[in-house]
A and B are shown apart, each in its own frame.
Chain A
Amino acid sequence: MAPRPAATGAAPSEPAAPEPAAPEPAAPEPAAPEPAAPVAGAPVAAPAWPEDPAEFRAAVRDWCAGHVPAEWRRAQTGASEEEFAAFQKDWFQQLRRAGLAVPHWPREWGGGMSVAQQIVLYQELAARDAPRLVLAFVAIHHAASTLLVAGTGEQRRRHLPAILDGEIWVQGFSEPGAGSDLAALRATARREGDGYLVNGQKLWASGAVHADWCLLLARTDPHAPKRRGISYFLLDMRTPGVEVRPIRQATGGSHFCEIFLDDVLIPAANLVGPQDQGWRVAQETLGAERGMTMLELAERLGHAGFRWLAEACARPGPGGRSPIEDALVQDRLASLETEITGLRALCRDLVERHAAGRVGPADASIVKLYYSELLQRTMDFGVEIAGPAGQTVLEKPASSGWESGAWVLDFIGSWEWTIPGGTSEIQRTIIGERGLGLPREPMGD
């Protein structure tokens, strides 16, 4: 039987654009003033959490002790797509009822936690090895930030409460011919009456089979320079002409999908920001999670990830000796622990500087690059330590992070970090150009 790991998670966000164009000022779509509180989907009487970080930590710890499902990893190992989705939705609703699902959203939409509280929350969820919010990832981060930054009042009222109720989103950015060079995308959106007629093909849409809505980039002006003719849409995945086909990926799972768009009609009301300004909208909204998702992942790598690695090193092998008795193993483990400690501090620093408005133009790329490659090296070492026995682990639990103790699959899966969301090569270029001010590569356009 071929290994078939269940879906493990939403891929990191799409690239921060490879072009080192200085972030342009926001294109504020003058949104109608928000009502004080949305009606439907509002969190009903979520508990009041302590503001004080130490008290909050204790309270979250208590909550986790009572709510993190026991043995969820076992239950999620070998789970079907349906079991995975049901588990994810249930976990999301538990967090939502506790007021912990969208801490980064504005208070009037059900969030409103301080940065200090969010840091503590993700540290504690990681320390308790709680399931990750995989399925809701794009919805609560990218869709929400897009709506909050660039959406109309109507779009927000339509979708933010629905996301709390479980609406799932997918990102439709990449295409077969537009990966690292995202702005080369060719899906077209032609104005047609009161809407746009969309044709094209999207790729690497993680979790698209479960998605209700899609964040879509399509070209509205084929004659403009490539970044100037793109528009940003909200696409209802039930619209006629939308077809989703899973792609089997290197791990054997099929989390990524292709989306085929054949004469799909999108109402003009679902345009985000002005027509032809979609690239700018995407630029402004991609980084809007402000480092918090990276902090969560770094905390998970530092807790469960390193703990399993240390346990694997301490486990006696066939001859009764454990790998940790080897000085070289000790050295490499200490080296990884040091680097993971550095990563966690880097993430905390990034989040805090975001909050203080002191974030540098390449800081997100530094963290993404370092996490991706450190994850890969850590999992690689896990594979080495696990030895031939590690090769017999054919499934990893869904709903986990990128480290699950199924070392070989985790290692293979780590390319989900070094490739999407701007490859490591693209990140190095961004760091060199935006972070260090090195001259740009001569480009074709």
Chain B
Amino acid sequence: MPAGTADVRDELRAVARDLLARGQASDGVPWRQLADSGWLGLEVPEELDGAGVTFAETAVVLEELGRAAASTGYLGAAVLAAGTLAALEPDGEPDELLRRTASGTQVLTAALVDGTDDGLGGAVPFRIEDRPAGPRLRGHAGFVPDAAEAGLLLLLALDPAGTPVVVPLGAEAGGLTVIPQPVVDATRRFGLVRAEAVTLDGVAVLRFGGDPRAAVRRLLDRAAVAMACDSLGLAEAMLEATVAHARVREQFGRPIGSFQAVKHACADLLVQAAVSRQLVREAVRRMAEDDPEAGVAASMAKSYACAAAVQAAGTAMQLHGGMGYTWESGIHVYLKRATLNRSLFGSPAAHRRRLARRYT
């Protein structure tokens, strides 16, 4: 791995865990705090005021955000937007946007999927049409993270030649509407982005470096692995909470954790977490190294870890008994987030379908 070492990651993890444990992270981490932490610019080159490390470090933050079920703008800005900008041909504009991402002076996100397909990026959400009056942008994207909060949106579009490009648009652009898209999970915010004949006069259309389709594929894999990281942290938090509860909660005169039915359910969660960790680690490593074959590892990590997290949160609710079902216990926050993570950027079934294409 180029920059970043295990020590750097351990330090980052400790700081993140500490910081997120201070407030009620699931109620929202202020943008300013996120920007000051330096997490937004982890992968931004140092000359653009970032930390110049890799996705391996971003993955640490993602895991900790999942562990705290934190409500932040991190997914839209650091995972999707910064990832998109880094994949573009370097020139003035992407560099400037990366600089503003790192410093947190620009709140931005990226719209990469149309929200109605299988989440693996079959359909590019927007298209640029050549019109006598000049190029126009049309299309819609769903489940765009933090869309309503972002001042700038990076829209994935096909240019008139059918090549994927990125169109940066201010939220106030004429013809562009952003509608909040409330979801059951209260820790994440999404928006529906619709473009109706948006004039692109004066808008610099940004091109991908290298093969554009492969670049889009990598971005979606990156998003999928980000979900897996979040789910891994979430599952571990749920296991820890459940074990802590089972050690002290007594029924029939003994801690419920001494009963095999409870103990074995916890053991199964630990095994699943161990497997998830290995699959996520491998996917993260390949993403960080820009391995062209990272997609297989990404699909394995996404499908396994996100499903295991639902199981972990569900088991946590079950083993906490009646208290676990209350709003107050907060376990519902994790269970909802786990189900959302599982469905975003490709369901387990969709990712396994992708893996299975290699068999025939």
Residues in A lying within 8 Å of B, measured CB to CB: 310, 313-314, 324-325, 327, 330-331, 333-335, 337-339, 341-343, 345-346, 349, 362, 366, 369-370, 425, 427-429, 431-433, 435-442
Contact = CB atoms under 8 A, between A and B. Distances in A.
A238 B48 CA distance: 77
Is the contact region of chain A dominated by helix, strand, or loop, or is it mixed?
helix
Given A427-B267, A429-B264, A436-B263, 6 more contacts: A331-B352, A429-B267, A436-B243, A436-B266, A436-B270, A438-B246
Contacts of A338: 279, 300, 303-304, 352, 355
B267 A334 contact: no
B203 interface: no
B356 interface: yes
A440 B360 contact: no
B303 to A, nearest CB: 6
Contacts of B351: 334
A171 to B, nearest CB: 26
Nearest to B253: A442
Given A310-B359, A439-B258, A429 B263 contact: yes
A341 B271 contact: no
Contact of B352 (A324, A330, A432, A433): A330
B244 to A, nearest CB: 10
B264 A428 contact: yes
A117 to B, nearest CB: 22
Contacts of B352: 330-331, 334-335, 338
Nearest to B355: A334
Contact of B353 (A324, A330, A435): A330
A342 B260 contact: no
Nearest to A369: B271
A366 B355 contact: no
B194 to A, nearest CB: 33
B270 A431 contact: yes
A305 B300 CA distance: 19
Contact of B260 (A331, A339, A441): A441
Of the listed residues A330, A339, A369, the one surrounded by the most CB atoms of chain B closer than 10 A to its CB is: A330
A331 B349 CA distance: 7
A432 B264 contact: yes
A366 B266 CA distance: 12
A333 B303 CA distance: 13
Of the listed residues A330, A334, A362, the one surrounded by the most CB atoms of chain B closer than 10 A to its CB is: A334
B274 A341 contact: no
Interface in B250-272: 254-255, 257-260, 262-264, 266-268, 270-271
B263 to A, nearest CB: 4
A366 B275 CA distance: 10
Contacts of B246: 438
A2 to B, nearest CB: 36
B213 interface: no
Interface in B159-181: none
Is the contact region of chain B dominated by helix, strand, or loop, or is it mixed?
helix
A330 B359 contact: yes
A85 to B, nearest CB: 36
Contacts of B116: none
Interface string B271-313: 1001110110110000000000000000010011000000000
Interface in B321-360: 349, 351-353, 355-356, 359-360
A438 B356 contact: no
Contacts of A314: 359-360
Contacts of B264: 425, 428-429, 432
Cβ-closest 8 pairs across A and B:
A330-B356, A432-B263, A345-B278, A334-B352, A431-B267, A438-B257, A334-B355, A342-B275
A330 B239 CA distance: 31
B254 A442 contact: yes
Contact of B281 (A333, A345, A431, A437): A345
A435 to B, nearest CB: 6
A343 B272 CA distance: 11
Nearest to B246: A438
Contacts of A429: 260, 263-264, 267
Interface string B122-165: 00000000000000000000000000000000000000000000
Contacts of A442: 254, 258
Given A342-B278, A429-B260, A337 B355 contact: yes
Contacts of A441: 258-260, 263
B16 to A, nearest CB: 22
A331 B353 contact: yes
A287 B263 CA distance: 23
Contact of A428 (B267, B278, B279, B281): B267
28 contacts: A310-B359, A314-B359, A314-B360, A331-B349, A331-B352, A333-B356, A334-B352, A334-B353, A334-B356, A338-B279, A338-B300, A342-B275, A345-B278, A346-B275, A346-B278, A369-B267, A369-B271, A425-B260, A436-B239, A438-B243, A438-B246, A438-B258, A439-B247, A439-B255, A439-B258, A441-B259, A441-B263, A442-B258
A425 B271 CA distance: 13
B359 A432 contact: no
Contacts of B254: 439, 442
Contact of A432 (B257, B275, B355): B257
Of the listed residues A314, A324, A427, A428, the one surrounded by the most CB atoms of chain B closer than 10 A to its CB is: A428
B360 A324 contact: yes
Contacts of A343: 275
A435 B270 contact: yes
A216 to B, nearest CB: 31
Of the listed residues B247, B274, B279, the one surrounded by the most CB atoms of chain A closer than 10 A to its CB is: B274
A366 B243 contact: no
Nearest to B307: A335
B268 A428 contact: yes
A338 B257 CA distance: 31
A429 B267 CA distance: 7
Contacts of A324: 356, 359-360
Nearest to A342: B275
A343 B263 CA distance: 22
Of the listed residues A314, A342, A346, A441, the one surrounded by the most CB atoms of chain B closer than 10 A to its CB is: A342
Contact of B278 (A349, A362, A438): A349
Contacts of A438: 243, 246-247, 255, 257-258, 262-263, 266
A439 B257 contact: yes
A424 to B, nearest CB: 9
Interface in B91-109: none
B279 A366 contact: no
Contacts of A432: 257, 263-264, 266-267
Of the listed residues A310, A337, A369, A427, the one surrounded by the most CB atoms of chain B closer than 10 A to its CB is: A337
Nearest to B263: A432
Of the listed residues A324, A333, A432, A433, the one surrounded by the most CB atoms of chain B closer than 10 A to its CB is: A432
B282 A440 contact: no
Nearest to A438: B257
Contacts of B257: 432, 438-439
